[in-house]
Amino acid sequence: MPVRKDTIYPGIHNDRFGGMTDIGRIIRDAWALGVLPEDETCEGWSYGRIQEVYDQVYKAWQPYGHLVSKLPPDMQERYLRIHHEATRKARELGWVPPMEDS
């Protein structure tokens, strides 16, 4: 069943395992790429508004080929810090990274 665009997002810190979801990844990328300030959790946002952030994040990634290794050093450091911290917190909450099929 598709998510209604008027449904409200609980915020990255209230999302599963502190945001280890597709939306959480979009928000963390938005922080790293400067689309959103790092203190913006998107709590109470509609999924339509989250989609707008996704579109902005997608455009922000384009100059770097959607590759972390091509980010400028300061942006790459911010990206790695944000994602490593999220992973650490998620593991503390019991999250286990999914196994990729080889």
- Per-residue pLDDT of 10-55, as tens digits, reads 999 999 999 999 999 999 999 999 999 999 999 999 999 999 999 9
| 73 pLDDT more than 50 | yes
Q: Average pLDDT of 65-69?
A: 96
pLDDT of residue 23: 96
Give the DSSP letter of residue 15.
S
Alpha helices in 1-102 (DSSP H): 22-33, 47-61, 73-92
pLDDT of residue 5: 54
Every domain of the chain and the residues it spans: 12-92
| 1 pLDDT more than 70 | no
* Strand (E) or helix (H) holding 46: none
Q: pLDDT tens digit string along 20-32? A: 999 999 999 999 9
Q: Which two tokens stand for residue 12?
A: 């990255």
pTM of the shown model: 0.88
pLDDT of residue 17: 92
Q: Average pLDDT of 84-93?
A: 94
How many Å apart are CA 57 and CA 70, to the nearest integer?
A: 15
Bridge partners (DSSP) of residue 46 are 8
